[in-house]
Structures are given as C-alpha cells and as structure tokens.
Structure 1
Amino acid sequence: MIKFRLLLWALGLMMKKSAKNNPDFREQLQGKDLVFQLQTADGAIVRHYVVKDQQVKSKGKAHADPAFSISFKDAQTGLAVLTSKDKNAFMKGIQNKEITLSGDFKAVMWFQGLAKLMKAKKKK
C-alpha cells in the first residue's frame, strides 16, 4: 500500500520535472487546464494532479471535480499496472475490470500519451 502511495507521489514529481525539462512533454500541456486523479477503488489511496499553465502539481487527497479518475481495484493492482513493462497492461486491467475509468475519456487518452512521453524521456 505504501509503495503505491509513493509511486503516485513520485509520478507527480516526474511530471513536474518533465514539464520543466522535456519540450515534447511541455507541448502536450499547452492549453490544458484540468485536474485528474489516480486512486484505489475504495478511495483509501488517492492523489490528484492539477495541469495548468504548462505545469503539473499534485496533492495527496481527492479532488471534488476531476476531469477524469482512474481507479485501480487495489494498491497492488495499481502498482503492478503502473510499473509494468507490458504496453498492454492498462488495457488488460480495464478488460479484466481491475481498472475503472470515469469522466472525460478523451482526457484519459491524452494522459496516456503524456505518460508515454515521460517514459520516453526517462530512457534517453
């Protein structure tokens, strides 16, 4: 459980750093003004991320009105999916009903593209 909480916190730091240092990442933030959150299905672990002015900030609590939420069945599932080397882990999680999405699905797709940019920058 603590590992998943730490991963969500680290994700916020990585996005903040990518927004400063990665021009492709920053370009994807252009014109975006939204809040999204990642959490366990029971809400025991939740972190929301604020995207505004080409920056990303995060807070370790639920947001009243996120553009979208990604809920993982439990902390172990969230940790496994978010750290998986399998490019299809996210889709498999949705198909297996271990991940549920709510809100703006277009924004979820945008976030998936953003996450790929973050990973691509890290590999260099």
Structure 2
Amino acid sequence: MFTLPILDVKADALDALLAALGFRLQSLITSRSNDALNGLIDGKNITIQFKSPTTNRYYEFRDGIFNHALGNLTDADLTIDFKDSVTGAKLLTKGDVATFMTAVQDGDVKITGDYKLVLWLSGIAKHATKVPDKYKNYIDTAKPFAEQALSIIKSKLNK
C-alpha cells in the first residue's frame, strides 16, 4: 500500500472512492451553487470517520464548510468501520441504505455514533454523485465503448 502524497490518497479501493467523493463534495460545497445541498449542510457541525483495516479517512462539515483527509478521529459523530476495503467500496458505490443496513446486520460494517447520520450522509452523497446535465451526452457517448470493453475483459477472464 502506498500513498499518493500530492492528493493524500492511498492506493486502496475504499480510500480512493472516499477521496474522490470528498473532492466532489468539496467542489460542490465551495461553489455554493446547489441550494438543496446547502440546506443540508448549513449550520451543521458533523464529523464522519470511515475505517477499514487498510484505511482511515474522515469527513468534516463545519458551518457550511467541508474538509476531508486521511486520519483517525477519536471523537467522530459517526464512525463507519468496514470489514475490508472492497466491502466498503462496494457498499458505498451501491448507494442503497437498505443494503448498507443489511451489511451492518451481517457484521460486514460496524457503525458507532448517531445512526441518523447515515441517512443524512446518503442525502449528501446523492448530490455529489449526480451527473451534471452538461456531461450527460459525453457519458451516453462513452457507454457503448465501456460496455464493449467490459465484455472483452469478461471474455479474457473466462479463458
């Protein structure tokens, strides 16, 4: 495992995902252009710690300002501890709270702190993962190529 020092991101599936989401959130929150997102974060003072055996990253929301970094907070309002990095990345990319809660029941995720913040974070993440309209045509153009590449990869793996 190594860290990319310029971006402070580990070469780890979960950390890369959390860092990318963090950079997107930072951009959206700094621009203040999304009123719905602004309403969710304004006046909030919340820290969320994400953990796995290979990474520790936290998100910090303070009075409408967002920060994220590698590291471990001992006093986070919510701690989400994944059994491993791949499980964390899969659950977060799925974006389904019900699946997430099932993983908690199965022991794949341990949550400490205010459970209501899981739903709050889900609402925040939906704003960050929405593709802006000006980029939708690019994605529609790229989809057939991505599907073709995926089928080639699958055929190579099955050999």
Partner of 1:10: 20
Partner of 2:39: 27
Query: C-alpha root-mean-square deviation of aligned residues, in Å?
Result: 2.0
Partner of 1:84: 94
TM-score calculated relative to the size of structure 2: 0.67
Q: Gaps spanning 5+ residues in structure 2: where?
A: 1-10, 134-159
| Identity between Structure 1 and Structure 2 (%) | 28
The Cα of 1:89 is off from its aligned counterpart by: 2.7
Partner of 2:80: 70
The structure with higher relative contact order (CA 8 Å, sep 6+) is 1
**Which residue identity does 2:69 align to in structure 1?**
K
C-alpha deviations, 1:68-93, integer Å up to 9, x for none? Answer: 11111100101111112656331221
The Cα of 1:27 is off from its aligned counterpart by: 1.1
Partner of 2:131: 122
Q: Which has the larger radius of gyration?
A: 2
Contact 1:32 1:53 survives alignment (8 Å): yes
Q: 1:28 to 1:90 in 2, by over 3 A?
A: same
Structure 2 SS opposite 1:64:
coil
Q: 1:111 aligns with which of 121, 133, 144?
A: 121
